[in-house]
Amino acid sequence: PGRAATFAPPTPQERKRWSAAFALLLTEATEAGRAAPSEPVRTAFEALGFVVETLIVSQGDRVWGVFERPERRRGAGAYLVRPGPDATGWMASGNRSAVQRVVIMAPHPRADRGTELMAQRLFGLSRARALIQSTIHRRTPAPDGTDADPAHRTDTYFQAATEVLDARIRDQIFLQLHGFEVKRHGDLDPDTAVILSDGNPGGKSHPRYLAAAAALRARQRSGVVALWGTDTKRLGGT
């Protein structure tokens, strides 16, 4: 996102039409043998100012992308979907053709330095089903003067994609990447490079979160990975 970018949230009707198109795209992504999205999907997105492309990412994977048209950019986000059969879980699978139930999210490009590049690389190297990335700086003002930050707004295509994925794919993990400076948070170990949070401020942590935390900590030296609610009370992403 450039510094001169503008942001305009979609109307409720636009979000409804976009959600229907994205839901159909997800359905087609799991169909055996489909190399590209159908013409009805492309037409539906084009009517809203988006283009659908087929791309090749790391390891030769073919993925489908939904992007704003250059002449109609308004901070609507960028979306990648990996076609292929459902791996029926989010953990690693021995079947390289199966797609895991993981959604990678980058809501703060440029504002949280490098997070969009990390998200893109992680999506390319993994078998995650989708990547959702904002295409606007979080502080860009909307027409009413509020911030464009998609991590806090509910009237965006970013949120619409999240809701469609949440409704259509069960037992998945949403991995949303943010940035922080350890020196600003005195309760953290100086070696802390990762804070992992399930966003639950008071309840019992979900088993999938605990499993992910254990797997990540097993790969790092002590102090690198902090757990929100245990090691720190800040940056919980609630």
Please report which confidence band the pLDDT of residue 3 belongs to, taking 50, 70 and 90 as the band edges.
low
Q: What is the pLDDT of residue 164?
A: 97
Which tokens in the block code for residue 106? 């980058």
Record the pTM: 0.92
Q: Which amino acid is at 211?
A: A
Strands (E), the chain: 50-56, 62-68, 78-81, 100-106, 128-133, 173-176, 194-196, 225-227
Q: What is the pLDDT of residue 137?
A: 93
Q: What is the pLDDT of residues 60-72, one digit of tens each?
A: 889 999 999 988 8
Q: What mean pLDDT comes out for the span 165-188?
A: 88
Average pLDDT in the chain: 90
Q: What is the pLDDT of residue 97?
A: 81
User: What's the per-residue H, E or C state across the chain?
Assistant: CCCCCCCCCCCHHHHHHHHHHHHHHHHHHCCCCCCCCCHHHHHHHHCCCEEEEEEECHHHCEEEEEEECHHHCCCCCEEEECCCCECCCCCCCCCCCCEEEEEEEECCCCCCCCHHHHHHHHHHHCCEEEEEECCCCCCCECCCCCECCCCCCCCCHHHHHHHHHHHHCCCCEEEECCCCCHHHCCCCCCCCCEEECCCCCCCCCCHHHHHHHHHHHHCCCCCCEEEECCCECCCCCC
What crossing angle do the helices spanning 39-46 and 12-29 adopt, rounded to 10°? 160
Which tokens in the block code for residue 197? 């949070």
Which tokens in the block code for residue 125? 């190297």
